[in-house]
Structure 1
Amino acid sequence: MSAGKLYVVGTPIGNLEDITLRALKILRNVDLILAEDTRRALKLLNHYRISKPLDSFHEHSSEKKVNKILSKLLEGKHIALISDAGMPVISDPGSSLVKKCRENNIEVDIIPGPSAVLTAIAASGFNGSKFTFIGFIPRDKKRRRLLRQFKDYHGLLIFFENPERLQKTFKDILSILGNVEIFIAREMTKKHQEFFYGNIENAINHFKNNIKGEITVILNLSNNSNTQSQ
């Protein structure tokens, strides 16, 4: 019996219509779909009337769970891996499973789809030829320590942030990197999508009230001179 195949499938970051025909075909034909959050996955699958066995796979999944999935693949099952939104593995779980497949000569196929990082770069107007993506920015001391590492960096620094911590993050950026250019994409492709462009001081004022949603931040450090705000 030949082994099955793992499909890493990109799904919409917001608008459910942002999915490829190939992705839908794969999701309809696999034996099992692994999802970071099965409740969120069901919204997408129900929208396209796809009914398949669904199991959870997230950052807390055990080695035992990975081996169980691997066994199914070795038995010839075809499995799709999706995340809550966007491309799996990019600041999302999945790398451990992909690595295990490589080690066991199980074929891995990528079905590309939306990415919050690339979508935000395209909307920002910044030159996207050089950027560093750090996923969710850490809290407090770890955040400040990380930002100091980019004092001499020339390029775009991209990260995700929680709305409740946004103001603290802005103030740390202002203190460490100065009043740099910033682009913020909130709730991309959704009904309440918001794009903001300005500098850090503008952002502190603009987002002073409580906000909600998923936030992608781009700092333009291409012309970084480390000028501190006075």
Structure 2
Amino acid sequence: MPEDISPTSYLAATQRVAALDTCTISDALDKLGLRGTVPGLVRLTANRQRISGRVVTVKLGPAIEGLPKRHLGASAIMAAQPGEIVVVEHRGRTDASGWGGLLSRAAARKGIAGVIVDGACRDLDESSELGFPVFGSAVVPLTARGRVAEHDWGCRVTIGSIVVNPGDWVVADGSGVVFFDQQHVDEVLAEAERILGRETAMIAALEQGAPIDHVMGANYEEMLK
């Protein structure tokens, strides 16, 4: 359990985040003038579940001399707590994999909720069979060996254009990936829950037969103002 948040607050935040999808979180960030949505990251495995939780970070880069000899992602997996999500800075690379099947297997056994890679992954069939969610921007069979190395972990990373720190929160589903930091968690969740409440009422109105032009009228366009 993270040391910078009480057990009660952490559990409550985890449950609240799990009830929200990426679109609702993204709308809340828009309303608050915050950035966190990363275009181009999609669910690569066949699993359809949404994942959410605090992040453990990995920074990848070119394979150069002098770096510690360790398998990319292994240290983050060992350090992660159940329910956390590994987030990998791969600099958008699609010419080599930044995550593979053995990592998915180890992460699944550790209880990690999923992985998000800013770049390509491989062994997607294996990850799907394991039921381990993998999000990224591409699939490629090319190995990282000799091409990519782990430069650091548990550090600040950049995913797309979004700066992500260890302990930040992330939600990932069929619509994409959205990050927000611990500093803003209360206001983001409060605004997202407000938006969700309004959209839930709109869904109910549609189910009861209200015309779409009435339900999605001026009030909908003003939701984020």
TM-score normalised per structure 2: 0.26
Greater relative contact order structure (CA < 8 Å, 6+ sep): 2
- Compare CA radii of gyration and give the structure with the larger one: 1
> What is the TM-score normalised by the length of structure 1?
0.25
